[in-house]
Structure 1
Amino acid sequence: MPGDQNFYSGNAYWASNLTGAVLNGSVPIWRLDDMATRIMASFYKVGLDKDRVEVNLDSWTTDVYGYRHWFAREGYGLINGNVDVRGNHATLIREIAAKGTVILKNTGNVLPLQKPRQIAVFGSDATDNPRGPNGCPDRACADGTVAMGWGSGTANFPYLISPLSALQNKAIADGTVIQWVVDDYATTHMHQVATQASACLVFVKAQAGEGYTIVDGNQGDRKNLTLWSNGEEVIRNVAANCNNTIVTIHSPGPVTMEEWIEHPNVTAVLYAGLPGQESGNSIVDVLYGLVEPGRLPFTIAKNATDYGVSLMYKPDNTYAPQQDLGGLLIDYRYFDKHEIEPRFEFGFGLSYTTWKYHKIVVRKINAGPYVPFNGRTPAARTTKVTESADSLLFPAEFHKVRFYNYPWLNKTSDVKQDGENGPADAYDPNGTATRPAGGAPGGNPGLYDILYEVNVTLSNTGKRNGEEVVQLYISQGESDDPVRVLRGFRRVSVNAGKSTTVTFTITRRDISRWDTATQNWVVSPAEKMVFVGRSSRDLPLVAKLNGERSQVGYSKNKPGRLGHGMKTFM
């Protein structure tokens, strides 16, 4: 890596170019040793020197037999052994998808469902792709329910449980009548079915993926934040005829909701992301209260422009778009800094029970001072190139597979003698000075010293056992810092009427900022505050990191300030 300079050209940045760069001195031989060592370390780490399995999976095709060098069309044989390595993955996938679903609205506690008399299901996102779960190459479409984005990082579904299939199974078990309309444009029939149901379940979607494929005019990223497949109209049409309309959104990120979120008949809204093969089962687990839902990993804005970046519809250079995201002020940090009211803030999510945060204690831990690192990297073992260009030509009779990258030279004249050099110290075989912030994997070990321990008391004040996602944010206090940043979270189970203590640790890294002058992490003298609560804007517990704590928490109406009338005591 990296591979071709252009897709399918076989012309690599490295391969024989790297060989030439070593021979002409542009890249030291000991740097090549380091590259090889990093690769072979992984080889030995996973035991491939002792136990190796023949390759039995081809990413180009699902055929059992075919070309082993698929793109070059060479080497016919067994290429897909169809080895089943799933084990109990489905159970974990279902749990993750359910616990990752977020309830955004639940008017009158219409959820969880309690064996309703009759339910109606609406929207093509509820049902199967007519061509099957893998009917679109690399999942590059939005036909049927959306459970995975598209691109080279996708996988083939072994199966896909649609919401409609899972809801039918649940309805049969409960004795519930179930009807459905999965044509997103059959508005007349939606009206007829919606008027009969005691709960109308609407499934809407958006889709995104990798930029090499265009789906409905969207090259990778979405070109807007609206719903696909007539989603807004489906919601409005059903809500106009059903006073208990429950909306589930499958999408790769935020969608705008202002057209319908406050409709009085839209009683519940769930964001279910891209849940994977157990999609239907996971959403049923949440709708019927078998699993406690999760919290938002991003902010949902009222307007697309609220995110603080200009919308880019075309690349601003020859290959990949470049977007200035404004330094540290990304997502909730931008909203807080500019006091923009979101529709749903980062970390938000409703629960099936109620919670009370009523105690915070900060304990300072004497970790000792932070010591900048001043060592050097090890000296190189090899410093001289012993091979000649002639010795690195392709071996005689060697068969080159088309489009493959090889380290051998085609001809000695490929080694250019005017190689470009890097920084002078990059060529020092005696090693280089380690930066003050370095010294170990992950940086200076002192960054991970624990400086504070924060204990909070949480009570489940409802009538159901539940799970809460406790979130800890820190304010570093400088004017150019974000108002506060997430520095920890815990998902904890608490039985109804019971309390628990949740413990967080704060490291030196958690309260440090990067200093460009010294090229190191520093802790500024500004006062540091810690906030704990249910979301980035629901933080009832506040304390100073010198051990003081407040009686009044963070005001949701003023994202840059503490609650009115804050008092501190030891």
Structure 2
Amino acid sequence: MHFAPWVALLAVTKYAAANPFVISDNSQVEKRDLAYSEPYYPSPWMNPTAQGWEDAYAKAKEFVSQLTLAEKVNLTTGVGWQGEQCVGQVGSIPRLGFRSLCMQDSPLGIRFADYVSAFTSGQTVAASFDRDLIYRRGKAMGEENKIKGVDVLLGPVAGPIGRAPAGGRNWEGFSPDPYLTGVAMAETVKGIQDAGVVACAKHFIGNEQEHFRQVGESQGRGYNISETLSSNIDDKTMHELYLWPFVDAVRAGVGSIMCSYTQINNSYGCQNSKTLNGLLKNELGFQGFVMSDWQAQHSGAASAVAGLDMSMPGDTVFNSGFSFWGTNLTLAVLNGTVPQYRVDDMAMRIMAAYFKVGRTLDQIPINFDSWTRDTFGPIHYAANEGHQQINWHVDAQEDHGDLIREIAAKSTVLLKNDGALPLKKPKFLAVIGEDSGPSPLGPNGCADRGCNMGTLAMGWGSGTSDFPYLVTPIEALQAQALQDRTRIEAVLNNSASSTIETLVKQEGATALVFVNANSGEGFISVDGNEGDRRNLTLWGNGDELIKNVSSLCNNTIVVIHSVGPTLVSDWYDSPNVTAILWAGLPGQESGRSIVDVLYGKVNPAARTPFTWAAKREDYGADVLYEPNNGHGAPQQDFTEGIFIDYRALDRAEIDPIFEFGFGLSYTTFEYSDIKVEKINAKEYKPTTGKGTEAPTFGNYSTELEDYLFPKSSFPYIWQYIYPYVNTTSSLKDASMDPEFGKTAEEFLPPGVLESAAQNLEPAGPGLTDQPGGNPQLFDELYTVTAKITNTGDVEGDEIPQLYVSLGGKDDPPVVLRGFDRIRVEPGCTAVFSTTLTRRDVSNWDVESQNWVITSSPKTVFIGPSSRKLPLSAPLP
């Protein structure tokens, strides 16, 4: 057996006496030199009286109190890559009938499983601006995971939030607006966990690009770096932008959070004591567990005391058999380097999250295998051992195809319409573009969707699932055409210029041009796009395709399937381009959902969840494509602060092509009669006092002999990660680390071993409050109403949006703070009503380390988009 050093890579954080997350206002070099994370110790332990967690805590305490040290370590350490059936599994506790925990991708379906659904992407459903629809999507995904035996669904995503429009995994998240992403995170978490599965909000935090996220991945592409990228973020930006949606996830009761590959201010995300101990567990009062991203753990004792609770997938490098935890975590507790209460707290947090979603020890069997579709095979795939039935091919789809079709249609954004839509039994349809048809390899022909052939319905990487089927646009259009007796012809080759020209220039043609732009996770490169997009143009020469078709056909309708905004300046305003739709990444019902919108079966109401700028430079932030720090960690300085997406364009007074929140309908609406009513809330008071002392549950043996591998109980599995030692001669001999034997005081920061009650954060919750921050931040201060009248002759949904001007010179002109999706009959009027909380009108104050309402005058706006705000009123 081989065990990795556990005191390696001890740089938990850089020390500083000033405020956290400081970035100098001077030169880039100085900013990089001063980008650090303040140390924050000890790691906060669970609170038995946290609102909403009391019952889960009691059940977890009853369970964890029975565990031995080895069993606790087993619960916190993954068994190794491909060690068992799921992408991540911790060890089992057979003595108490606990089969382990199964962690599985992805945030839009179940990766590596058969007979499961392929849902719309998070970014796509965000365009619906529909809380109920987002919740139903989360619940359906949770239901499928539960049927398959998954315990923890690795999603939803708020990191990346979408700082740079070319970011490869933006589509897995929701929107670069923190309010919209926060709402979507909360509704998705509630849906997943109401279905009885633990949600895992990821990637915490500042994980905004794929380039340089891992050293090995980067070196394999010729980048000579020794550390992963550091996202250098100031304190105000951290709170007002990147932390905001995670607050909503914590308030929704999320059971787990995944820390990221990237560093934050030059401290690795999975051993960053400020972000994990300080922000997440103390300031937000998070009661669940923190798991590492796969191979994002860089140390043993250091990551344990910095707030990491679960190591995934357990081995230091895939299939190495080495682990920072496992045996080494057992030894760390035995020699006093990691306090016993820290391992108790890890186990408590994991089991509390498990019990919080209604789970019991009567677990649903894991009935699929991530590594093969064979019915029979090795349960330990990497070791090729334990041959038995591993796939039961259980159908988990239920009727979710209908829901996916509804979501995709209600999330399709109508960006332009010069009367071309809805279609009404057109005489002749000319369907153009590879994106309208099937891939010659089939919908799952490329592993993890790592290619771009045929219609684009999801991006690539670990955030994918296999399609049970994929209805392409041409299939659905042909079915509708047969019903309408419409002539329909298609050219599914973007390069077949002469064939396309001959078809679309015929008299009476309505040309439907399907185009796309793709991206994904960094371990896959597609056409030179190493996860992140190289540019914002359409793929497959799509822009030229649109220009060529529209030069010949005066009724050209464009449908875009994409992972985010593309540059449309060259063709969007052509009079021959009569309609433009963004359908995002619609999932398995792609064709039927777009036909529903094109033909008016669904009246579009969705809004673009990001800005469509005229130039890439207008966005104010971009991907770092080349290392900029020698062989060290590339430094990505977030110098734009909170000004990303529409906030950047608004501040610079740049006109977008299509602004954030924009979307058309087949009817029209009028806004009127805004009213603001002030609610008398109590004065905001910072949280004071202390928490409780660190609890420990039961005694454990300090005799090394009691942790020897029990050969008589079960066989040793190659590469499998265990909590046991392979020698009992001495603690030093049991560890492979040459530094073993040093005390914690010799290499860990001060405060690590403290077990006394700690001070509560002023902006954090009290002992009996709901996690997510100071509860008074969520007091309602204002009720705002307006009237919405359908002035057209078609029933439709409207999405009124409320924006606030916070009034300060360093504030964005407006920020989104409310929305709703309202159905209104023709000629009728509905009332839009929403409330503003103290948090909604506050700024983060770096000096007091709390939220404050500034003296700047504040104004509320209501309208159909961020740039069309006909109603306004001052906030008294």
Q: TM-score surpassing 0.5?
A: yes
Deviations 1:165-198 (A, max 9, x none): 0000010111111000001110000011102253
8 Å contact kept, 1:244–1:265? yes
Amino acid at match of 1:243: N
**Separation of aligned partners in 2, 1:449 and 1:133:** 48
- Residue in 2 aligned with 1:563? none
- How far 1:312 moved relative to its partner? 2.8
What does 1:291-370 align with in structure 2 at a 5 Å threshold? 291-293=602-604, 294-314=606-626, 323-325=636-638, 326-370=640-684
**2:154 alignment counterpart:** none
Within 5 A, what are the aligned runs for 1:114-129? 114-129=424-439
Larger helix percent: 2
Picking from 364, 376, 380, the partner of 1:69 is 380
Q: Is the 8 A contact 1:15 1:405 kept in 2?
A: yes
> Which residue matches 2:397?
86
- 1:409 — aligned with what? 725
DSSP-derived class of the 2:483 partner: helix
- 8 Å CA contact retained: 1:2, 1:12: no
Tell me: CA distance 1:33–1:260, structure 2 relative to 1, closer, same or farther (3 Å): same
Percent identity (aligned): 51
Distance 1:210 1:509, change over 3 A: same
> Is contact 1:207-1:251 (8 Å) kept?
yes
- Please give the secondary structure, in 2, of the residue aligned with 1:21: helix
Q: 1:408 to 1:323 in 2, by over 3 A?
A: same
Deviation at 1:240, TM superposition (A): 1.7
| CA pair 477-356 structure 1, distance change in 2 beyond 3 A | same
1:130 corresponding residue in structure 2: 440
Name the SS of the counterpart of 2:799 in structure 1.
strand
Measured in 2, the distance between the counterparts of 1:497 and 1:175 equals: 34
Structure 2 counterpart of 1:371:
685
Q: Which runs of 5+ in 1 are unaligned?
A: 547-570
| Post-superposition offset of 1:261 | 1.4
Distance 1:545 1:120 in 2: 53
Deviations along 1:358-404, whole A, 9 cap, x unmatched? 11110000111112111322222229875233432322344333333
> Does 1:187 find its partner at 2:513?
no
Deviation at 1:47, TM superposition (A): 4.6
Matched residues in 1 for 2:627 and 2:460: separation?
Answer: 19
Residues 161 and 314 of structure 1: CA distance in aligned 2, closer, same or farther (over 3 Å): farther
Between 520-529 and 356-365, report the one with greater CA deviation: 520-529
What residue is the counterpart of 1:437 in the other structure?
763
Distance 1:314 1:499, change over 3 A: same
Superposition deviation, residue 122 in structure 1: 0.5
Counterparts of 1:194-343 in structure 2 under 5 Å? 194-196=504-506, 197-293=508-604, 294-314=606-626, 323-325=636-638, 326-343=640-657
Output the CA distance in 2 between the equivalents of 1:95 and 1:334. 33
Match of 2:832 in 1: 502
Matched, 1:388 2:703: yes
Match of 1:479 among 786, 809, 814: 809
Q: Partner of 2:246 in structure 1?
A: none
Could you say what secondary structure the match of 2:637 adopts?
coil
Local SS of the residue matching 2:760 = coil
Secondary structure (helix, strand or coil) at the match of 2:648 reads: helix
What pairs up with 1:150-189 in 2 under 5 angstroms? Answer: 150-189=460-499
Query: Which position in structure 2 is the counterpart of 1:418?
Result: 742
Report the equivalent of 2:188: none
2:634 & 2:647 partners in 1: Cα distance? 23
Question: What is the alpha-carbon distance in structure 1 between the residues aligned to residue 634 and residue 835 of structure 2?
Answer: 39
In the other structure, the counterpart of 2:268 is none
Alpha-carbon spacing, 1:223–1:284, altered in 2? closer, same or farther (3 Å): same
Cα 1:319/1:11, change in 2 over 3 Å: farther
RMSD between superposed Cα atoms in Å? 2.0
Q: Could you tell me which amino acid in structure 2 is paired with residue 20 of structure 1?
A: L
Contact conserved, 2:610 with 2:661, CA < 8 A, in 1?
A: yes
Asked whether the equivalents of residues 208 and 221 of structure 1 are also in contact (C-alpha less than 8 Å), the reply is: yes
Shift of 1:221: 1.5
Deviations 1:433-473 (A, max 9, x none): 11111124001111111011101111111111111111111
Please say if residues 806 and 857 of structure 2, whose CA atoms lie closer than 8 Å, have aligned partners that are also in contact: yes
- Matched-pair contact (CA < 8 Å) for 1:2–1:13: no
- Is the Cα contact below 8 Å between 2:621 and 2:644 reproduced in 1? no
Query: Residue 500 of structure 2: SS of its match in structure 1?
Result: helix
Q: Provide closer, same or farther for how the CA distance between residues 404 and 172 of structure 1 changes in structure 2, counting only shifts above 3 A.
A: same
Write the distance in 2 (CA, Å) between the matches of 1:322 and 1:226: 26
Contact 2:337 2:744 (C-alpha < 8 Å) held by counterparts: yes
Do 2:437 and 2:454's aligned partners in 1 also have CA atoms closer than 8 Å?
A: yes
2: distance between equivalents of 1:315 and 1:175? 58
User: What amino acid is aligned across from residue 742 of structure 2 in structure 1?
Assistant: D
1:492-526 C-alpha deviation (Å, 9 max, x unpaired): 10001100111111011111111222221111111
1:19–1:407 contact (8 Å) kept in structure 2: yes
Distance 2:384 2:357 in 1: 31
Secondary structure at the counterpart of residue 691 of structure 2: coil
SS in 2 for 1:130: coil
Q: Distance in 1 between matches of 2:633 and 2:488?
A: 47
Separation of aligned partners in 1, 2:534 and 2:576: 29
Q: TM-score, normalised by structure 1?
A: 0.91
Q: Which moved more, 1:227-236 or 1:359-368?
A: 227-236
SS in 1 for 2:672: strand
Superposed displacement of residue 257, structure 1: 1.0
After superposition, the Cα gap between the structure-2 partners of 1:490 and 1:445, relative to the gap in structure 1 and judged at 3 Å, is same
Q: For residues 431 and 214 of structure 1, do their structure 2 counterparts lie closer, same or farther at Cα, with a shift above 3 Å needed?
A: same
d(CA) in 1 for partners of 2:861, 2:344: 48
Paired letter, 1:347: G
Aligned residues: 545
Aligned to 2:799: 469
Shift in Å, 1:357: 0.6
Distance 2:635 2:700 in 1: 40
Secondary structure of the residue aligned to 2:378 is strand
Mean CA deviation greater in 429-438 or 16-25? 16-25
Match of 1:567 in 2: none
CA distance in 1, matches of 2:636, 2:409: 33
C-alpha separation in 2, matches of 1:256 and 1:218: 17
**Partner secondary structure for residue 219 of structure 1:** coil
Measure the CA separation in 2 of the matches of 1:419 and 1:287: 69
Q: CA contact under 8 A between 2:567 and 2:613: conserved in structure 1?
A: yes
Distance 1:528 1:426, change over 3 A: farther
Q: Displacement, 1:5?
A: 3.1
Rounded to whole Å, the distance in 2 between the matches of 1:321 and 1:135 is: 35
Among 837, 840, 857, the residue aligned to 1:527? 857
| TM-aligned CA distance change 1:67 to 1:385, over 3 Å | closer
Post-superposition shift, 1:262?
Answer: 2.0
Q: Would the aligned equivalents of 1:127 and 1:145 in 2 still touch at CA under 8 Å?
A: yes
Task: Report if aligned partners of 1:16, 1:406 keep a CA contact under 8 Å in 2.
Answer: yes
Q: Give the conservation status (yes or no) of the 8 Å contact 2:620–2:643.
A: no
Contact 1:474-1:485 within 8 A present in 2 as well? yes
Partners of 1:85 and 1:532 lie apart in 2 by: 42
Query: Measured at CA, do residues 539 and 10 of structure 1 come closer, stay the same or move farther in structure 2, by a change above 3 Å?
Result: farther
Q: Matched residues in 2 for 1:80 and 1:316: separation?
A: 47
Deviation of 1:142 (Å): 0.7
Once structures 1 and 2 are overlaid, which stretch shifts more, 314-323 or 42-51?
314-323
Q: Which has the higher strand share?
A: 1
